[in-house]
Chain A
Amino acid sequence: MADEPGRNLRSLSLHVPEPKYRPGDKVSFDDMPLPEAGSVARPDIAAAPNTLRDYPFTLIRVLDPEGKAVGEWNPRLEPDRIRAILRAMTLTRAFDDRMFRAQRQGKTSFYMKCTGEEAIAVSQAFALDRDDMCFPSYRQQGLLIARDWSLVDMMCQIYSNAGDRLKGRQLPIMYSAKEAGFFSISGNLGTQYPQAVGWAMASAAKGDTRIAASWVGEGTTAEGDFHAACTFASVFRAPVVLNIVNNQWAISSFAGFAGGENTTFAARGLGYGIAALRVDGNDALAVYAATEWAAERARSNHGPTLIEHFTYRVEAHSTSDDPSAYRPADEGQHFPLGDPIERLKTHLIAIGEWDDASHEALKAEVTAQVRDAGKEAEKLGTLSGTAFNHGFETIFEDVFAEMPPHLKEQMEQSIEERRVAGV
């Protein structure tokens, strides 16, 4: 009898994922399958999702080990455009470095770098149209930089200073820049994914030509919003590019805790009937080509695309994080996809459009640009200078379009309390 108590059965056991390497372990990525550059065919943008079933399990790569651009996914960009991408990536890294130091100097409370992931946001900004709306997570600062958004403006937000367009209300790096097609960043993970789908649905419903794009990390794919977004995107064939930046780490949790042990993140798209690509996230040309394909597909009413960008989070999760507590310090150095800036630089040199001297000059130039912007921004104050870069009564504004009576009352109360206290 199956329900007889005490029958002789093996005990169940719970599988709890564990990353391959912990601090102190010797790291090797030798067993990671790595398709060669140029080995993946480029399908028609109108291809039905069920004809693209192999794509989530391979890796679209354009740059070969010598830096040559090979295969059908080579976007064949003009050298000037490649140089512009390289410049924006280098500028993004310089910006990150300075803002990280600014946090350590106490000029702001918090910062998050995107080191090693610059190819993703930057190349994608170049592949999208400028008026396509981006719904980013907190690690796509490269979108703003590639769209030539003011570094001073970004820094003012980070410093919550008098020039902060968000009036010191938001945690540093939670930018909002509608003019740059950059949606207001939220601290709540994944919420922007269905919003991007909704924006794209609205654009389609209105007969517009603009598309939307959104970004989550692989960790956030575990959120219910990811499922909501993919379902709506599929059902309504929304003109949206849904990006998953798989940098393998969600703070201290390796990708296994988001389901990455059993499948790829791109493969999630298959179940929704969404075309899904998996791309070498450190290959700026592959990222560009995949994004261009997805954008053309969306713009031609063929529906959404899910892109997994396979990369590695080189630095700490944030200025509040110490990765040496949960992963080997040298893990990133062994990551076989290398550094996105170095790889694009190697490519430009290989095609005779760049050299080491030009690259050093570029680095010096962007460092100076960031330094100048930093000086400009700091003239307007930093967080350490004063916490009241904006009048304290501004905290009551913009909760609603018009301030309702209860907020007016609270504002008057706060003014009176501060007056009586003499502060």
Chain B
Amino acid sequence: MTRMNMIQAINSAMDVVMERDDGVTVLGEDVGYFGGVFRATAGLQKKYGKTRVFDAPINECGIIGVAIGMAAYGLRPVPEIQFADYIYPGMDQLISEAARLRYRSNGDFTCPITVRSPFGGGIFGGQTHSQSPEGIFTHVSGLKTVIPSNPYDAKGLLIAAIEDPDPVLFFEPKRIYNGPFDGHYDRPVQPWSKHDSSEVPEGYYNIPLGKAAVVRAGEAVTILCYGTMVHVALGVAQESGIDAEIIDLRTLVPLDIETIAASVEKTGRCVIVHEATRTSGFGAELSAQVQERCFHHLEAPIERVTGWDTPYPHSLEWAYFPGPVRLGQALKRVMKD
């Protein structure tokens, strides 16, 4: 075991799979010599050479399109999109090609790519360095979507994603790259080294995709969350004294509905939290599924605490970000009924 922050854990995941499988190939803007704008690929080019870790032109359509072709050849490409906000030029390749290749060719060709991309807000990133577009991709059949919330999970889930035979979107909450963040932007942030989940094995392990984690057991209410919001939820539960059961989804598609349903059937209440905008966000899917499966156990309406239906603002970030004040109020509302 070594203490790692999330970036080191992600770097270690790629290092471990590249060592084991010489088909694993990393490409993206600034990922090669420089080691990535967030340092996630630092040292990999030096260790594995330029034909396995290389810089790409600034062209997201090309990065993903080329990765699909490399996958069709038989490699396991790990393309990086520098910010999730810039994944849109690659959407046609992701949605029309990567997601459909196995289906449309009846398995003749497959696309085992893992698209890594930093996402989420809380860093004064403004409109184009803060977005959470996961709901756009969870709507696409054929794609898996994974979002870790701590270094241990980040490494285990990324190894599983790269080894997965199908395309995976791996969104990395950049707000918590260096330490967990509970939404109290006015308090000093602790580094990962003070946190248990920064104990990360140096070698190989994986965390299966499609399995949620109960990060806090509770009886009063179920909070469904992922990424940075896991830490916001943990903080609110502690401060409010409400005995919330907090579920870190980890994988959005395929969704671990059994763990979710078992929890809501026990607590009878459910609050869903995500940074992404509300309308048609992933929270709507979660809410619908909980309603369909747990209707007779529900004692209060399901609440969604999300980003507002606006572009992500710069100076008004903390009025937008679904932090402890908003989540705290939602929990109180749900508990009142």
Shortest Cβ distance from residue A243 to the other chain B in the assembled complex, whole angstroms: 16
Q: Cβ of B300 < 8 Å from any Cβ of A? A: no
Q: A residues within 8 A CB of B72?
A: 133, 183, 195, 198-199
Q: Cβ of A197 < 8 Å from any Cβ of B? A: yes
Q: B residues within 8 A CB of A404?
A: 210, 253-254
Shortest Cβ distance from residue B74 to the other chain A in the assembled complex, whole angstroms: 7
The distance in angstroms between the C-alpha atoms of A193 and B75, with both chains bound, is: 18
Q: B residues within 8 A CB of A187?
A: 96
Interchain CB contact under 8 A, A205 and B51: yes
Residue of A nearest to B58 (CB): A231
Interchain CB contact under 8 A, B108 and A176: yes
Interchain CB contact under 8 A, B102 and A398: yes
Interchain CB contact under 8 A, B165 and A167: no
Q: B residues within 8 A CB of A201?
A: 66, 69-70
**Contact of A166 (CB < 8 Å), options: B70, B106, B144, B166:** B106
Interchain CB contact under 8 A, A165 and B106: yes
Shortest Cβ distance from residue A219 to the other chain B in the assembled complex, whole angstroms: 16
Q: Cβ of B109 < 8 Å from any Cβ of A? A: yes
Q: Cβ of B105 < 8 Å from any Cβ of A? A: yes
A202 with B70, Cβ < 8 A, contacts A228-B59, A232-B57, A406-B255 known: yes
**Contact of A231 (CB < 8 Å), options: B62, B104, B106, B254:** B62
Q: Cβ of B52 < 8 Å from any Cβ of A? A: yes
**Contact of A232 (CB < 8 Å), options: B62, B68, B142, B210:** B62
Q: Give residues of chain B (80-118) contacting chain A, Cβ–Cβ below 8 Å.
A: 89, 92-93, 96-97, 100-110
Q: Size of chain B's interface in residues, with CB distance under 8 A? A: 47
Q: Cβ of A262 < 8 Å from any Cβ of B? A: no
Q: Cβ of B334 < 8 Å from any Cβ of A? A: no
Interchain CB contact under 8 A, B69 and A199: yes
**Contact of A184 (CB < 8 Å), options: B59, B62, B67, B101:** B101
Interchain CB contact under 8 A, A166 and B59: no
Interchain CB contact under 8 A, A176 and B106: yes
The distance in angstroms between the C-alpha atoms of A115 and B80, with both chains bound, is: 42
The distance in angstroms between the C-alpha atoms of A186 and B254, with both chains bound, is: 25
Q: Size of chain A's interface in residues, with CB distance under 8 A? A: 47
Residue of B nearest to A179 (CB): B108
Q: Cβ of A399 < 8 Å from any Cβ of B? A: yes
The distance in angstroms between the C-alpha atoms of A254 and B77, with both chains bound, is: 39
Q: Cβ of A178 < 8 Å from any Cβ of B? A: yes
Interchain CB contact under 8 A, A195 and B210: no
Interchain CB contact under 8 A, B57 and A178: no
**Contact of A194 (CB < 8 Å), options: B66, B105, B165, B210:** B66
The distance in angstroms between the C-alpha atoms of A165 and B101, with both chains bound, is: 14
Q: Cβ of A352 < 8 Å from any Cβ of B? A: no
The distance in angstroms between the C-alpha atoms of A177 and B107, with both chains bound, is: 11
Q: A residues within 8 A CB of B75?
A: 202, 205-206
The distance in angstroms between the C-alpha atoms of A204 and B73, with both chains bound, is: 11
Q: Cβ of B25 < 8 Å from any Cβ of A? A: yes
Residue of A nearest to B51 (CB): A205
Interchain CB contact under 8 A, A186 and B69: no
Shortest Cβ distance from residue B90 to the other chain A in the assembled complex, whole angstroms: 9
The distance in angstroms between the C-alpha atoms of A404 and B252, with both chains bound, is: 12
**Contact of B106 (CB < 8 Å), options: A169, A197, A232:** A169
Q: Cβ of B330 < 8 Å from any Cβ of A? A: no
Q: Cβ of B324 < 8 Å from any Cβ of A? A: no
The distance in angstroms between the C-alpha atoms of A177 and B57, with both chains bound, is: 31
The distance in angstroms between the C-alpha atoms of A165 and B109, with both chains bound, is: 13
Shortest Cβ distance from residue B150 to the other chain A in the assembled complex, whole angstroms: 24
Q: B residues within 8 A CB of A406?
A: 253-255, 257
Q: Cβ of A235 < 8 Å from any Cβ of B? A: yes
Q: Cβ of B141 < 8 Å from any Cβ of A? A: yes
Q: Cβ of B61 < 8 Å from any Cβ of A? A: yes
Interface hub of A184, A204, A225, A401 (most chain B Cβ within 10 A): A184
The distance in angstroms between the C-alpha atoms of A150 and B71, with both chains bound, is: 26
A177 with B108, Cβ < 8 A, contacts A191-B93, A202-B75, A228-B59 known: yes
The distance in angstroms between the C-alpha atoms of A193 and B68, with both chains bound, is: 11
Sorted from nearest, which 8 A-B pairs have the closest CB atoms?
A198-B69, A194-B65, A228-B62, A198-B66, A404-B254, A195-B69, A202-B73, A184-B105
Interface residues of B (CB under 8 A from A): 25, 51-52, 56-57, 59, 61-62, 65-75, 77, 89, 92-93, 96-97, 100-110, 141-142, 144, 165-166, 210, 253-255, 257-258
Extra pairs beyond A205-B52, A228-B59 (13, CB < 8 Å): A133-B72, A135-B69, A166-B106, A184-B101, A188-B97, A191-B93, A199-B70, A202-B70, A224-B89, A225-B65, A401-B110, A401-B165, A406-B257
